[in-house]
Amino acid sequence: MSPRLDTVLGTPDLPLAELCAARLDGELLACDGRYLTVDAPDTAEVRAALAHAGRSGRVIVERRSAAWVHGALAVPPPVPQLCVSTSARTRRPLAGLREVRFDDGDLVLLSGVAVTSPLRTVLDLVRSAQDDEHAQDRAALRALLESAGVAAEDAAARLDERRKLPGKERALRRLRALAQPAETR
């Protein structure tokens, strides 16, 4: 009997040729150079582990990657969206990651992986989204608000409390549009 492999695999676990062959055979799903076994349970913890695999413990899963982890998007973004907290600064910053300030309650831990909370993910997405009318984004934002147990108006009020926030006015318009019933838009 062969030993059970982890649900998230990479080249330290198996040679790349075997990982690619297993993906082609439908045994693995690929995501950013990591592979997930198809029989892995579809949970937020497993998705967080996949998005974070092989990265420093200081790395936080955010924006569209966090929306996927929370189940609001069906597939992960092609490039994981990750950041580090400004409170985790060191002499050697992690290359390519933006530094973000977080308040209490902005992060949740899923099997040891820091992920932005559903509400914080909403606030980040409405500030960074490029297309106001993208149906998938609107559905994801609604799912995240429901998961957080927060109305769009309350999310807008929380965002409005913050000063000097880039993209704040556009984000407030998006949240107010989400709060309107579908027939009035």
pLDDT tens per residue across span 90-112: 656 666 788 899 999 999 999 89
Residue ranges per domain, the chain? 1-40, 42-184
Which residue is associated with the tokens 């409405």?
126
Segment 43-62, tens digit of pLDDT: 999 899 888 877 888 899 99
Burial 62-98 (b: 16+ CB within 10 A, else e): bbbbbbbbbbbbeebeeebbbbbbeebeeeeebeebe
Nearest to 143 by CA among 49, 74, 40, 92: 74
Provide the whole-model pTM: 0.83
